[in-house]
């Protein structure tokens, strides 16, 4: 199942008036072909908020799976605005330096332990929404990554049980402002600029991803292929990430966790190749989907 959050009509705001709340104009749907089945239709009766849907557990997922067979209304995908599948995740956690060839291109040392940092939840945008170059830096870079979404509260989950707490997988672009990232050991601010967390286009439920470590991952800037990796090469695997993270903190439904980037990022070139206004970044993961975002200059969006 491919689960989406969408705004309808398409000109509906992609930002709620109060960013800490969901917008009433947002709905949750399941994608079938080039249509989206509205799960808030009374025939299905599910909530319009992805986190609430995930909290509904297996019962809600079964109803969502059956929705295409009901009379629930369908809308052409082209007539809705897709948002990030979880527009305001409770947490966005990202692992750094998780592909050997990416470590080499950055000139860093291979970490002994999983290296985690936060992206602030306010940076999340959906496919099609613009990545903004900030006023304070030109060193803006892309990182195509496989991400997963937590489906139920998880605390002290051993690696062998990890898949049971994952709702599904999606695509993330871990946009990074390199000078801000490296001026502080936590990387936090350089990873958290508004619009620098594109996620989407949907969540592919875990039953449809038999092996998250056997997927091709490609990133294009405009029509130039920059990253051509495989998730097979991850140093720390998804299940090990869940074990370590949930040892420290409770993972909550809707948390987005991104698993690191293969080689080919802009800073790996000599000279570095930063994103500039007018570019388009497209991240494609086999069996998951394609996340595409235009790049705009400072102040070109309402944010």
**Tokens in use for 54?**
């995930």
* Of residues 145 and 243, the one with the C-beta less far from Zn ion: 145
Nearer CB in complex with Zn ion: 231/261: 261
Smallest distance, Å, CB 211 to Zn ion? Answer: 21
Q: How far is the CB of 123 from Zn ion (least distance, A)?
A: 13
Whichever of 26 and 148 has its CB closer to Zn ion, that residue is 148
* Residue environment code for 76-115, b if the CB has 16+ CB neighbours within 10 A, otherwise e: ebeebbbbbbbbbbebbbbbbbbbeebbeebeeeeeeebb
| Closer to Zn ion by Cβ: residue 95 or 133 | 95
Q: Which is nearer to Zn ion, 49 or 143 (CB)?
A: 143
Q: Which is nearer to Zn ion, 116 or 297 (CB)?
A: 116
Say which DSSP state 246 is in: H
Q: How far is the CA of 89 from the CAs of 145, 197, 257, 286, in angstroms?
A: 17, 11, 10, 24
How many residues lie near Zn ion (CB under 5 A)?
3
Does 261 contact Zn ion by CB under 5 A? Answer: yes
Q: Which residue's Cβ has the minimum distance to Zn ion?
A: 174
Q: Segment contacting Zn ion (CB under 5 A): 128-136, 215-223, 260-268, 276-284? A: 260-268
How many whole angstroms from its chain centre is CA 196? 11
Could you tell me which stretch among 5-13, 135-143, 153-161, 283-291 binds Zn ion (CB under 5 A)? 135-143
* Site track 213-232 with Zn ion (rule: CB under 5 A), x = hit: --------------------
Q: How far is the CB of 258 from Zn ion (least distance, A)?
A: 6
Tokens of 150: 């937590």
**Stretch in the footprint of Zn ion (CB under 5 A) among 65-73, 130-138, 148-156, 253-261:** 253-261
| 35 interacts with Zn ion by CB under 5 A | no
Sign of CA dihedral 133, 136, 137, 140: negative
Site for Zn ion in 137-196 (CB under 5 A): 143, 174
Q: Which two tokens stand for residue 24?
A: 């009433």
Give the nearest distance from C-beta 117 to Zn ion in angstroms. 9
Whether the Cβ atoms of residue 242 and residue 203 lie closer than 8 Å to each other: no
Q: Are 62 and 262 in contact (CB under 8 A)?
A: no
Q: How far is the CB of 185 from Zn ion (least distance, A)?
A: 16
Q: Please report how close the Cβ of residue 259 comes to Zn ion at its closest, in angstroms.
A: 8
Strands (DSSP E) found in the chain: 2-7, 26-32, 35-38, 74-76, 81-82, 92-96, 115-119, 124-125, 131-132, 140-141, 144-150, 166-173, 176-177, 197-205, 216-221, 224-230, 256-258, 280-285, 289-296
Q: Nearer Cβ to Zn ion, position 76 or 272?
A: 272
Smallest distance from the beta carbon of 171 to Zn ion, in angstroms? 12
Distance CA 129, CA 139 (A): 20
Site residues, Zn ion (CB under 5 A)? 143, 174, 261
């Amino acid at each position: 199942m491919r689960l989406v959050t969408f705004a309808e009509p398409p000109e509906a705001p992609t930002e709620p008036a109060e960013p800490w709340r969901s917008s009433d104009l947002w709905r949750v749907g399941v994608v079938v072909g080039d249509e989206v089945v509205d799960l808030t239709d009374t025939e299905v009766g599910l909530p319009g908020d992805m986190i609430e849907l995930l909290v509904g557990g297996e019962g809600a997922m079964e109803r969502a799976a059956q929705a295409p067979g009901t009379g629930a209304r369908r809308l052409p995908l082209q007539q809705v605005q897709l948002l990030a599948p979880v527009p305001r995740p409770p947490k966005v956690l990202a692992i750094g330096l998780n592909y050997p060839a990416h470590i080499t291109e950055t000139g860093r040392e291979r970490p002994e332990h999983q290296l985690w940092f936060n992206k602030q939840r306010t940076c999340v945008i959906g496919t099609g929404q613009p990545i903004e170059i900030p006023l304070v830096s030109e060193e803006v870079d892309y990182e195509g990554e496989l991400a997963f979404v937590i489906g139920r509260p998880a605390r002290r989950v051993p690696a062998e049980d990890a898949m049971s707490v994952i709702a599904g997988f999606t695509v993330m672009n871990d946009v990074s402002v390199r000078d801000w990232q490296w001026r502080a050991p936590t990387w936090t601010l350089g990873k958290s600029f508004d619009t620098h967390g594109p996620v989407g286009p949907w969540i592919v439920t875990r039953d449809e991803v038999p092996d998250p470590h056997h997927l091709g991952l490609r990133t294009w800037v405009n029509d130039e292929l920059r990253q051509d990796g495989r998730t097979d090469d991850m140093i720390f695997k998804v299940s090990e990430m869940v074990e370590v993270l949930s040892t420290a903190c409770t993972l909550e439904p809707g948390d987005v966790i991104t698993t690191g980037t293969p080689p080919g990022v802009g800073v790996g070139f000599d000279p570095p190749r930063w994103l500039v206004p007018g570019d388009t970044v497209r991240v494609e993961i086999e069996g998951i989907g394609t996340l595409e975002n235009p790049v705009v200059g400072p102040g070109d969006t309402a944010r």
